Structure 1
Amino acid sequence: MADSDVHYHFRFGDNSVWECDVSTLTDYQALGADNLPDWTRLEFHQCSHCPLSPQEHRYCPYAVALLEPARVTSMRLSHEPVTVTVTSRSRTITADTSLQRAMGSLLGLIGPFSGCPITRILRPMARFHLPLSSPDETLFRAFGTYLLGQYLRQRQGLEADWQMT
């Protein structure tokens, strides 16, 4: 496993296993096939604030990145118990939790590296991913990341937003 990878290992109650690797350095690559599901097309419920053009981008990059997770979990209950082990750089975290919580953690990592221009802004937080974080941990990391960004802006002679507007 490369230093830039985060590995999710899911063990379900029926002892089946699913594994997913996410690289924190590169965008997901859109599958070359033209037989992707309709729900992955950019025009299919395109986000109102999405800057991508359907003429240039046939598929939503985030939707394409969600293909495999959706395939694996579509027939499972969100509250199904799962044991998830997340391995990254020098850390391994294992938890018995719900599928919904485990997938929420994974999807929070996939989004910034999906190629979506909106979720791309979350890359600094995702680069230092904290799997299965609590709401307080996430809030602390979000504010800390924002304030660090403002400090760096100020150091470059740009206007900083210390009021966090």
Structure 2
Amino acid sequence: MPDARRRFEYRLRFPDGARRVIPIVLDGTTLGCVEPPPVARAWTALACHRCPHCPLDAAEALCPLAARLDPLVEVLGSVLSYEALDVEVASGERTVSTHAPAQAVASSIIGLIGATSGCPHTAFLKPLAWFHQPFAGEEETVFRAVSAWFLKQHFRELDGETPDWSLAGLRQRYDALHTVNVHLARRLRQASSADATANAIVRLDMFTKAISGEIDDILGFLRGRLG
């Protein structure tokens, strides 16, 4: 049986010795984000830099993705991209430790919260978030995304639905995700006094573009290594 909830803790230590913790809790049934809760700020309002393809009702007060990133902005919004942090990411019995630029740390956190935030354009990433791998690189990200997509198509076929083995649907979802990244970066530039959080989106968008535009090359590379 799946866990009722899954908790991730990003434990950050700054060069001056200061320590901060950003906890992220996912619901085991919906795979949605329970913690951090949404926070109302000017930059988290749905109307602020709203994505042109957002399907949410205009009556909604907050962008579900931006509203859950408030703790990240509080901790890293005044930090420069290149400032290196000591990081531990703890979940269950596993702890991953690294020394990484603030941009990479913010990118990993945004990827996890974003997938589970309630944004309709990131919902397809929920299963990857449940099995979150901090600081995953481009090849690993592509491998996990495509593997999860094919598993989903297998279940669709078992349910009598038409599977998409061509990856066309996955490409479309990542194209839509690119638009989300562009507008979220604008929000984070408005909310932050330094560049770590906005540049984290630039890093995430590199992976998005890789899956959307370079997937065949990466899969060709991986194909020869699957035996």
TM-score for the superposition, normalised by structure 1: 0.91
**Structure 2: distance between partners of 1:53 and 1:47:** 12
Q: CA RMSD in A?
A: 1.4
Residue 85 (structure 2) aligns with: 82
Contact (CA 8 Å) 2:41, 2:67: kept in 1 or not? no
Q: Give secondary structure in 2 for the equivalent of 1:24.
A: strand
**Structure 1: distance between partners of 2:73 and 2:87:** 17
Cα offset, 1:159, TM superposition = 0.3
**Structure 2: distance between partners of 1:27 and 1:129:** 13
**Structure 2: distance between partners of 1:14 and 1:77:** 14
Which residues of 2 match residues 39-58 of structure 1 at below 5 A?
39-55=43-59, 57-58=60-61
Q: Give secondary structure in 1 for the equivalent of 2:151.
A: helix
Q: Amino acid of the residue matched to residue 161 of structure 2? A: L
**Structure 2: distance between partners of 1:161 and 1:141:** 17
Greater share of residues in helix:
2
Describe the shift of the 1:89–1:3 C-alpha distance in structure 2 as closer, same or farther (beyond 3 A). Answer: farther
Q: Amino acid of the residue matched to residue 40 of structure 1? A: T
Contact (CA 8 Å) 1:3, 1:89: kept in 2 or not? no
Residue 27 (structure 1) aligns with: 33
Q: Does residue 1:105 correspond to 2:108, yes or no?
A: yes
Q: Give secondary structure in 2 for the equivalent of 1:20.
A: strand
TM-score for the superposition, normalised by structure 2: 0.67
Please give the per-residue CA displacement for 1:140-160, whole angstroms capped at 9, x wherever unaligned.
101100110111110111001
Q: Amino acid of the residue matched to residue 155 of structure 2? A: L
Please give the per-residue CA displacement for 1:90-112, whole angstroms capped at 9, x wherever unaligned.
31100011111111111100012
The one of 127, 138, 141 equivalent to 2:144 is 141
The one of 52, 69, 72 equivalent to 1:66 is 69
Q: Which is further off, 92-101 or 115-124?
A: 115-124
Q: Which is further off, 112-121 or 73-82?
A: 112-121
Contact (CA 8 Å) 2:24, 2:113: kept in 1 or not? yes
Q: Give secondary structure in 2 for the equivalent of 1:117.
A: coil
Please give the per-residue CA displacement for 1:11-43, whole angstroms capped at 9, x wherever unaligned.
111111111111121434334xxxx32111101
Contact (CA 8 Å) 2:64, 2:117: kept in 1 or not? yes
Q: Amino acid of the residue matched to residue 47 of structure 1? A: C
Structure 1: unaligned runs, 5 residues or longer? none
Q: Amino acid of the residue matched to residue 17 of structure 2? A: N
Contact (CA 8 Å) 1:8, 1:85: kept in 2 or not? yes
Residue 179 (structure 2) aligns with: none
Q: Give secondary structure in 2 for the equivalent of 1:143.
A: helix
Cα offset, 1:48, TM superposition = 1.1
Would you say how many aligned residue pairs link Structure 1 and Structure 2?
A: 159
Contact (CA 8 Å) 1:3, 1:88: kept in 2 or not? no
Overall identity of the aligned pairs, in %: 35
